[in-house]
Amino acid sequence: MELNAGTAGTGSHKTASERDEVAALESLQFTDEIRRLMSAPATDNASSFTALLELPAPQAVQLIHSPDSAKLIAAPAPAPNVDEFKGSFNFPFNSGLIERATRFSLFAGDGSINDNNKSNSPEPTSYNSSANLQKPVKSEPAETESYQPLVSDPTVENRSTKRKDREKVKGSTKKSKTGAKDSSDDAEKLPYVHVRARRGQATDSHSLAERARREKINARMKLLQELVPGCSKISGTALVLDEIINHVQSLQRQVEFLSMRLAAVNPRIDFNLDSVFTAESGSLMDSNFSGMVMPMMLPEVQLNGNRQQYPQQLHFDAFQQPVWGTEEVCNNYITPENSLLSYDSSGNSASLHSNQLKMEL
């Protein structure tokens, strides 16, 4: 599973690198303009955006490439030109040229991000703080897709088409969480006539935030679609949600049935487990299990025939016995957290246990 993801990532990265060069070439034309635009201080109005324009340009760039950039653009390999360019690329000034250039840089960024984030351990939560730019909104699927063995190319292309759509939409497409992006956003919009009307309104930041929120949700829905079998062909949120609900319900029902089966199999199953875990540890065992284990020694012999790895397992579990044996004296689930937390600590110590289980699985 991880292999697939890796190869998909490298595949896209190869194409990304050639696009990278194109982007670098194009960026040479734009960086000057962008730098000028970004450093142009805004004649401020009352709107919320322009208040954020106070941020000087280098700080803006700094913010854009902040270390939190598991979520941000942060392409490690390419030249700083391309970085800056990518930082400010998503402003719709000359739409045709920009679209092309941005798409290239988008691919470049995504390729490197995919590779980056496969090494990172992606966090499912806490996007609010640092996911600032439009591109990070797209890079989130790249990041979270490292969970899954997705092919990165179709998703990247999806993003490019979405990007085109977004550019046609009014200027209120960006999240307003950082000042940096907004500052450059506004700064470069100022010289251009085709500023959309909505920009100056106070409610704009809300619609921006809502739209960004929408983007986040849609990205995650895509992941869900991949996860649930048979959902990728369906288009439309409602139907996909339907499928997801059915899937979750069926899984829960399966759990119920299986637990019923386990319960019905016999009380023996529980005792077997006890004996399985405690048979060899007769010496170390505390009083609770002794009563139950003794009569069950005999079936345990045949049990060992079927699951050969268990006796070895017992060895290591025996060491864990003293740790949680005493806690189970108070039995029940009085504090499942406490008891299971202690399981955690003991579980860490016996890594070989997991190897044995792996054989069974």
Subset of residues 86 to 105 that bind another protein, contact rule: CB under 8 A: none
Which residues are CB-neighbours of 324 under 8 A, at least 6 positions away? 339, 342, 343, 346
- What is the per-residue DSSP string for 151-197? -HHHHHHHHHHHHHHHHHS-STTS--S-HHHHHHHHHHHTT-S---G
Binding residue count for another protein, defined by CB under 8 A: 79
How far, in Å, CA of 16 to CA of 106, rounded?
A: 9
Q: Cβ of residue 313: shortest distance to another protein, in angstroms?
A: 9
171 neighbors 198 (Cβ within 8 angstroms):
yes
**Smaller CB distance to another protein: residue 56 or 325?**
325
**Smaller CB distance to another protein: residue 61 or 208?**
208
- Interface pick for another protein out of 149, 164, 309, 319 (rule CB under 8 A): 149
184 neighbors 88 (Cβ within 8 angstroms):
yes
Subset of residues 282 to 321 that bind another protein, contact rule: CB under 8 A: 288-289, 292, 302-303, 306-307
- Interface pick for another protein out of 271, 309, 311, 315 (rule CB under 8 A): 271
Subset of residues 3 to 62 that bind another protein, contact rule: CB under 8 A: none
3-class DSSP string for 257-299: HHHHHHHHHCCHHHHHHHHHHHCCCCCCCCHHHHHHHHHHHHH
How far, in Å, CA of 175 to CA of 140, rounded?
A: 14
**Smaller CB distance to another protein: residue 193 or 264?**
264
- Interface pick for another protein out of 95, 158, 259, 290 (rule CB under 8 A): 259
For residue 138, count other CB atoms closer than 10 A to its CB. 26
Residues in the chain: 361
**Smaller CB distance to another protein: residue 28 or 260?**
260
Q: Can you tell me which residue has the tokens 């921006």?
A: 208
**Smaller CB distance to another protein: residue 9 or 78?**
9
Q: Cβ of residue 12: shortest distance to another protein, in angstroms?
A: 19
How far, in Å, CA of 128 to CA of 137, rounded?
A: 11
- Interface pick for another protein out of 31, 66, 81, 148 (rule CB under 8 A): 148
- Interface pick for another protein out of 7, 45, 62, 335 (rule CB under 8 A): 335
Stretch that binds another protein, among 18-26, 45-53, 146-154, 169-177 (CB under 8 A): 146-154
Q: Cβ of residue 122: shortest distance to another protein, in angstroms?
A: 11
- Interface pick for another protein out of 255, 294, 298, 352 (rule CB under 8 A): 255
How far, in Å, CA of 249 to CA of 255, rounded?
A: 10
Stretch that binds another protein, among 44-52, 53-61, 143-151, 164-172 (CB under 8 A): 143-151
**Smaller CB distance to another protein: residue 90 or 275?**
275
How far, in Å, CA of 141 to CA of 184, rounded?
A: 25
Stretch that binds another protein, among 59-67, 96-104, 112-120, 334-342 (CB under 8 A): 334-342
147 neighbors 118 (Cβ within 8 angstroms):
no
**Residue 121 is a binding residue for another protein (CB under 8 A):** no
- Interface pick for another protein out of 169, 263, 301, 352 (rule CB under 8 A): 263
- Interface pick for another protein out of 94, 158, 161, 237 (rule CB under 8 A): 237
